[in-house]
Amino acid sequence: MTPPRLPDALAMAVGTLTAWPVAPPTRVDAQVAGRAMLLAPLTQLPLLALAGLGAGLWLALGGPESVLAVLLLAATALSTRAMHLDGLADTADGLSSSYDRARALAVMKSSDVGPSGVCALVLGLGVQGTALAALAGDGSLALAAVALLTSRQVLAGACHRAVPPLPGSGLGRAVAGTVSTRQ
């Protein structure tokens, strides 16, 4: 089956931020990249629709909130190729590697995960799982959906023209400085 053809900015956003199959954009430039970052929250709508239906069914059948929380975290990780978890681990490893900037950047680019990265993942996922279970028990899972959409909207701010890319960064260089204040 051929993946769907979307407008370039939406194709870049979906292709970059999710594991959902889409045809690649026909053009990638600063304008397309900036629009893609503005559209980032939309990339989560299919996941939220499926997760909302599944969570509703799970809770209606009396499934435990703690297991639902783990399933929701797994669905989010799988739908995003675990990019946010990889970034968290890389950041923790880089920050704890040394005071030398070049060494920290090298550690962050490395494909392995060190002890600080593992701790950050365990603690971060533990807090997220506990919060999701509490929201599910309260009937407030819609707040988790708002948090997910808000987290994706933060990308637009991180790609503002006033935020320069790191030297040598791949994806960061493509999207850094592409969002104007007006946008």
Domain ranges of the chain: 8-175
Report the half-sphere exposure of 150 (CA within 13 A, side-chain side).
6
Q: Six-digit token pair at 98? A: 């040394």
Whole-number pLDDT of residue 105:
78
pTM of the model as a whole:
0.86
At 164 the pLDDT is: 78
**pLDDT above 70 for 13:** yes
Question: Is the CA virtual torsion 27, 31, 37, 38 positive or negative?
Answer: negative
Determine the Cα–Cα distance for residues 40 and 10; give it in Å rounded to an integer.
8
Over 90: is that where the pLDDT of 122 sits?
yes
Indicate whether 165 pLDDT > 80.
Answer: no
**Burial state string for 33-71 with b = 16 or more CB within 10 A and e = fewer than 16:** bbbbbbbbbebbeebbeebeeebeebbeeeeebeebbeb
Q: Dihedral (C-alpha) 133, 138, 149, 19: value to the nearest 10 degrees? A: 40
User: What mean pLDDT do residues 105-110 have?
Assistant: 81
